């Protein structure tokens, strides 16, 4: 006899990227044993590929729109709304539970399921959105704003590999037989079991710092014939790599400060106002424009804990004199 509640729970956890390896196997066994569950799962899968999980009302409307497009619509039993609605509620709850918002008004994280959902999931955060992802091996990823990551539902037998563009903090479960590899556009990070931060936004230097354990950063060079060096990083050390010049700097840092964003903190140490505003744009989702160039070069230091944009700018102006105007969508900076 099919356990409907168990099926809904397992399907929901898989679509939300929260299922453990054991749960994934249990769901696979159910799908193999019951053909009607396959149709239900495909329907649910297609729905969550198109849905944004905004509210209970929006969820119901999205379900109705999706059902109109699915060829399997007429094959599903008349009680489909009962189990789809229940699964929608479960998955919506899961997505909300793994996303933390800073500040409170930030929209919730969106989950995009790739076509080949049996192998890979993709999580993308817009500006002003952060999320926490728990992988099947127990490792956890804190994904920063304006960042995306791709990861398999179940890791292979010999390695654990993910692909990152943006910033993320990793807490990796130790497994000497399966190294954990983070692929970047301009290099990779290899670990066995540790916690570390990776910052790899487009058109910015790549930065890797360690909180616990040890990682290896391997830069990617334009010249395919060049053999890249391997830079080992231990706690409170950071490597910064500029792909345009192939310049690599290893220095002392604070691992706790580098991951401060995971705790709702922003830490700036002798940083230009231009770079600070880039971080504020990602964190608060407001476009930032400079009406004069002089303030761009101001160098500032400050630490903020769960402050809103108005408060942060107020305190920054106490260090260096500049003017700012905040509108619904834009922050304007001038002398």
Cβ–Cβ < 8 Å for 308, 286: no
Q: How confident is the model at residue 5 (pLDDT cuts 50, 70, 90)?
A: low
**163 has a pLDDT exceeding 70:** yes
Tell me how far apart the alpha carbons of residues 261 and 195 are, in angstroms, rounded to a whole number: 15
Contacts of 20 (CB under 8 A, 6+ apart): 136, 138
Cβ–Cβ < 8 Å for 189, 198: yes
Answer positive or negative: Cα dihedral of 302, 305, 308, 310.
Answer: negative
Q: How confident is the model at residue 152 (pLDDT cuts 50, 70, 90)?
A: confident
pLDDT value at residue 46: 56
Helices 56-67 and 80-98: crossing angle in degrees, nearest 10, is 130
Condensed to tens digits (0 to 9), the pLDDT of residues 60-93 reads: 344 444 444 443 343 444 444 445 455 555 544 4
Residue intervals in the chain for CATH 3.55.50.30? 264-334
Condensed to tens digits (0 to 9), the pLDDT of residues 241-250 reads: 998 888 899 9
Q: How confident is the model at residue 17 (pLDDT cuts 50, 70, 90)?
A: low
Q: How confident is the model at residue 275 (pLDDT cuts 50, 70, 90)?
A: very high
Higher local confidence (pLDDT), 108 or 281: 281
Cβ–Cβ < 8 Å for 48, 91: yes
- Asked whether the whole model's pTM tops 0.85, one would answer no
pLDDT value at residue 11: 77
pLDDT value at residue 29: 81
DSSP E strand stretches across 220-273: 231-233, 237-242, 247-252, 265-272
Q: How confident is the model at residue 292 (pLDDT cuts 50, 70, 90)?
A: confident
Cβ–Cβ < 8 Å for 223, 217: no
Strands 287-290 and 247-252 turn out to be unpaired
By mean pLDDT, which of 5-14, 178-187, 196-205, 254-263 is the weakest?
Answer: 5-14
What's the token pair of residue 316?
């920054």
pLDDT value at residue 79: 47
pLDDT value at residue 18: 59
**47 has a pLDDT exceeding 70:** no
Buried b (16+ CB within 10 A) or exposed e, 245-271: eeebeeeebebebbbbbbebbbbbeeb
Residue intervals in the chain for CATH 2.60.120.1440? 110-258
**321 has a pLDDT exceeding 60:** yes
Nearest Cα to Cα of residue 136 among 41, 49, 17: 17
pLDDT value at residue 147: 93
Condensed to tens digits (0 to 9), the pLDDT of residues 182-237 reads: 999 999 999 977 999 999 998 899 999 999 999 999 998 876 666 678 999 999 99
Higher local confidence (pLDDT), 278 or 28: 278
Tell me how far apart the alpha carbons of residues 191 and 174 are, in angstroms, rounded to a whole number: 9
Q: How confident is the model at residue 327 (pLDDT cuts 50, 70, 90)?
A: confident
What's the token pair of residue 27?
């769901």
Instruction: For domain 110-258, give the fold.
Output: Jelly Rolls (2.60.120)
What's the token pair of residue 60?
């119901």
Q: What is the mean pLDDT of the chain?
A: 76
**13 has a pLDDT exceeding 80:** no
Instruction: For domain 264-334, give the fold.
Output: Phage tail protein beta-alpha-beta fold (3.55.50)
Buried b (16+ CB within 10 A) or exposed e, 53-66: beeeeebeebbeeb
**165 has a pLDDT exceeding 90:** yes
Higher local confidence (pLDDT), 116 or 298: 298
Tell me how far apart the alpha carbons of residues 40 and 36 are, in angstroms, rounded to a whole number: 7
């Amino acid at each position: 006899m099919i356990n409907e509640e168990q099926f809904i729970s397992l399907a929901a956890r898989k679509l939300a990227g929260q299922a453990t390896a054991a749960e994934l196997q249990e769901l696979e066994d159910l799908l193999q044993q019951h053909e009607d569950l396959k149709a239900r799962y495909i329907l649910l899968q297609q729905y969550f590929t198109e849905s944004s999980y905004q509210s209970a009302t929006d969820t119901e409307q999205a379900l109705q729109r999706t059902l109109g497009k699915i060829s399997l619509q007429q094959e599903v039993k008349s009680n489909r709304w009962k189990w789809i609605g229940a699964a929608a509620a479960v998955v919506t709850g899961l997505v909300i539970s793994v996303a933390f918002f800073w500040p409170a008004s930030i929209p919730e994280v969106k989950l995009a399921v790739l076509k080949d959902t049996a192998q890979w999931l993709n999580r993308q955060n817009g500006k002003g959105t952060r999320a926490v992802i728990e992988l099947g091996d127990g490792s956890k990823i804190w994904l920063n704003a304006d960042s995306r990551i791709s990861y398999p539902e179940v890791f292979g037998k010999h390695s654990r590999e993910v692909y990152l563009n943006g910033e993320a903090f990793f807490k990796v479960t130790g497994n000497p037989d399966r190294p954990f590899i983070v692929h970047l556009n301009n290099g990779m990070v290899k670990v066995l079991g540790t916690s570390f931060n990776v910052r790899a936004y487009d058109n910015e230097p790549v930065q890797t710092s360690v909180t616990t354990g040890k990682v290896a950063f391997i830069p990617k060079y334009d010249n395919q014939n060049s053999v890249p060096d391997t830079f080992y990083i231990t706690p409170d050390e950071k490597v910064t790599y500029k792909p345009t010049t192939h310049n690599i700097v290893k220095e002392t840092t604070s691992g706790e400060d580098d991951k401060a964003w995971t705790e709702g903190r922003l830490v700036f140490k002798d940083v230009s106002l231009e770079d600070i505003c880039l971080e504020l744009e990602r964190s608060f989702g407001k476009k930032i424009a400079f009406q004069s160039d002089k303030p761009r070069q101001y160098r500032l230091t400050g630490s903020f804990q769960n402050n809103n944009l108005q408060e942060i700018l107020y305190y920054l102006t106490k260090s260096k004199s500049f003017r700012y105007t905040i509108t619904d969508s834009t922050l304007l900076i001038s002398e």
